[in-house]
Amino acid sequence: MTQPLRLGIAGLGTVGTGVVKIVRQKANLLAARTGRPIEITAVSARNRDKDRGVSLKGYAWEDDPVKLAMRDDVDVFVELMGGADGPAKAATEAALAAGKDVVTANKAMLAIHGQELAESAEELGRVIRFEAAVAGGIPVVKALTEGLAGNEITRVMGVMNGTCNYILTRMEDSGLPYDQIFDEAHQLGYLEADPNLDVGGIDAGHKLSLLASIAYGTQVDFGNVELEGIQKISIQDIRTAAAMGFRIKLLGVAQMTGRGLEQRMSPCLVPADSPLGQLQGGTNMVVLEGDSVGQIVLRGAGAGEGPTASAVMSDVIEIARGTRLTTFGQPAAGLEKARPARAAAPAPYYLRMMLTDKPGAMAKVATVLGDAGISINRMRQTHHDDTAAPVVFVTHKTGRDALDRALAGFAGTGVVQGEAVAIRIEDV
Ligand SMILES: NC(=O)C1=CN([C@@H]2O[C@H](COP(=O)(O)OP(=O)(O)OC[C@H]3O[C@@H](n4cnc5c(N)ncnc54)[C@H](O)[C@@H]3O)[C@@H](O)[C@H]2O)C=CC1
Ligand SMILES: N[C@@H](CC=O)C(=O)O
Ligand code: NA
C-alpha cells in the first residue's frame, strides 16, 4: 500500500478552508492523479470553535503553528496564515528544519524572505512551493518555472491585484470618484486588513518580484520594485484616458535591460482594446513573453477560496507525485542580485495639467517639454472654466529622467496650476 502524503495546515481562513474542502471532497481524484492518498493529519488556526462550513473531524488540533510544523505525522507543512514575519516565517523555518516540504500562499513572506528560505530549504533537501502566492488560481509560477523553462524571458507583465482592478473598473463604469469606490470595495470585504497593501501596489509588487526572480534567475528583490499605488487616480483621468482609447490599470512590468532589472508596479495606460485593457473587475491577467514562444496571456481569478485553494493543491499534488523543484527555478545558492534599473525603457506618457487660461500659456508648457527633449504626439483640451482649462498631452517615447525634468519645469512657468499628472503608456 502506497504511503499517504500527510498535510499539516496552518491557517483555516478563506484559503485554508478551501484546501480542506478539496482534500475531503476529492480524495479519490487526488489519489488517482498522484498514485497515493493525500490526507490532512493536523490543523492550526486562531479560533478552534469557529464554524467554517467544513468538518475538521479526524484532524489533530495545534494552537501553535510551529508545533504543527514539527509534528512527526506531517510530511508537508501548508502555510496559509499570512504575514511576512511572525508565526508564518517561524513555522516555515521550523518545518524545513524538521524535514518537511512547505507549500505556502504567502507572497509577503516570500517577497521579503524568499531568498533566505529557499537557500535554507535547499541545504536541508526540502522544497518550498508557492503557486497560490502569485495571481491566485492562475498557474503562472508553474508556467514560468516549467512550461517556459526553455525560453529567455523578455518581459513579464500583469494585473496582479484584483481589488485594484475592481476599483478602477468600477470607477469607469459608475463615474464615481476613488474614495467612494474604495469604500464600496471595503464594504464588500475585498480589501486586505491593511488596505495599503492593495491600493498602494505593495501586494502586487510582492507578486511581481517573485515572478521576476524566476524569469531572470536573480534573487527576489522586492526592495527595488518601483511602487506607485492607485490612490491618486482621478475619475477625470479615467474618463480622459477612455476618450483617447485607453484604460488605466495597475500594471506590473519586469524586464531585464542593458541597464539592469527593471521592476515597476504602477498605474499605466494600456489600449482599451488590448487583452489587459479589456480586463474587468477583480480578475487577474499575466502576460509572459519569451524569445521562442512569443507572447502568452493567462487570465483568471487571482483570489478567493476556490481559485487559491486550487493553486495550493497543485503544489501539494506536485510533491505527492515526487517532483522536486527548486523554489525559484534555479538553485537558490547560485542566484545573484540583479542590478536595479529604474524605468529604463522609454515610453510615451499621458500628461494632464490645469493650465491658466491666458495668452502664451500653452507656448510656455510646450517650451518646457521641448527643453526637456520631449516631443508631443497628441494634445487635447477638455472642459473649460473662466480661469483654467484641463489640458492633456500624449508624448512620443521619452525617458523617465526627461519626464521628471519637465515635471519640475512646469512649476516655474507660472501657468500650470497644482501638480501635473503623468501616467506611463505601456506598449502591451
Ligand atoms: N484570500 C485570498 O484570496 C488569497 C490569499 N492569499 C494568501 O493566503 C494566505 C491566507 O489568506 P486568507 O485565507 O485570505 O487569510 P484569512 O485571514 O482568511 O485566514 C488566516 C488564517 O490564519 C490563521 N492564523 C493567523 N495567525 C495565526 C497564528 N498565529 N496561529 C494560528 N493560526 C493563525 C487565522 O486564524 C485564519 O484561520 C495569506 O498569505 C494571503 O496573502 C493568496 C492569494 C489569494
Ligand atoms: N488582495 C489581493 C488578494 C490576493 O492576492 C487581491 O486583491 O488581488
Ligand atoms: Na498562481
In this predicted model, what pLDDT tens digit does every residue of 93-106 receive, in sequence order? 999 999 999 999 99
Q: In the predicted model, is pLDDT for residue 345 greater than 90?
A: no
Ligand 1 pocket, residue 195 CB under 6 Å: no
> 397, exposed or middle or buried, with CB in 10 Å at 0-12, 13-18, 19+?
middle
Ligand 2 pocket, residue 303 CB under 6 Å: yes
Q: Per the structure block, which three cell numbers stand in for 417?
A: 496650476
pLDDT digits (tens, 9 = 90+) for 408-421: 999 999 999 999 99
Number of H helices, E strands in the chain: 14, 16
> 194, exposed or middle or buried, with CB in 10 Å at 0-12, 13-18, 19+?
exposed
Query: Which domains does the chain carry?
Result: 5-104 (3.40.50.720), 140-298 (3.30.360.10), 349-425 (3.30.70.260)
Per DSSP, the residues of 239-282 read: HHHHHTTEEEEEEEEEEEETTEEEEEEEEEEEETTSTTTT--TT
Q: What is the pLDDT of residue 415?
A: 96
Q: Which of 14, 138, 161, 209 to mutate to test the pocket of ligand 2 (most atoms within 8 A of CB)?
A: 161
Q: Is 207 a catalytic residue?
A: yes
Residue 301 CA, ligand 2 centroid: distance in Å: 10
Where does the pLDDT of residue 382 fall: very low under 50, low under 70, confident under 90, or very high at 90 and above?
A: confident
Q: In the predicted model, is pLDDT for residue 1 greater than 70?
A: no
Q: What is the pLDDT of residue 344?
A: 72
- Cβ atoms 389, 382 nearer than 8 A: yes
What average pLDDT does the segment 398-409 reach? 95
- How much of the chain, in percent, has pLDDT values that exceed 70? 99
What average pLDDT does the segment 267-292 reach? 97
Q: Give this prediction's pTM.
A: 0.97
What average pLDDT does the segment 173-190 reach? 96
Quick one: residue 45, left, alpha or beta (phi over 0 = left, psi -120 to 50 = alpha)? beta
Residue 324 CA, ligand 1 centroid: distance in Å: 25
For 210, phi then psi, to 5°, come to: -70, -40
Contact residues for 182 (Cβ-Cβ < 8 A; gap 6+) = 167, 191, 195, 199
The residue annotated as part of the active site, out of 207, 337, 358, 397, is: 207
Residue 67 CA, ligand 1 centroid: distance in Å: 18
Distances (CA, A) of 282 to 198, 241, 265: 12, 20, 17
Where does the pLDDT of residue 325 fall: very low under 50, low under 70, confident under 90, or very high at 90 and above?
A: very high
CA 271 remoteness from chain centre: 20
Looking at this protein, which amino acid is placed at residue 401?
A: D
The total of other beta-carbon atoms located within 10 Å of residue 413's CB is 17
Q: What is the pLDDT of residue 387?
A: 83
Interatomic CA distance for residues 428 and 426, integer angstroms: 6
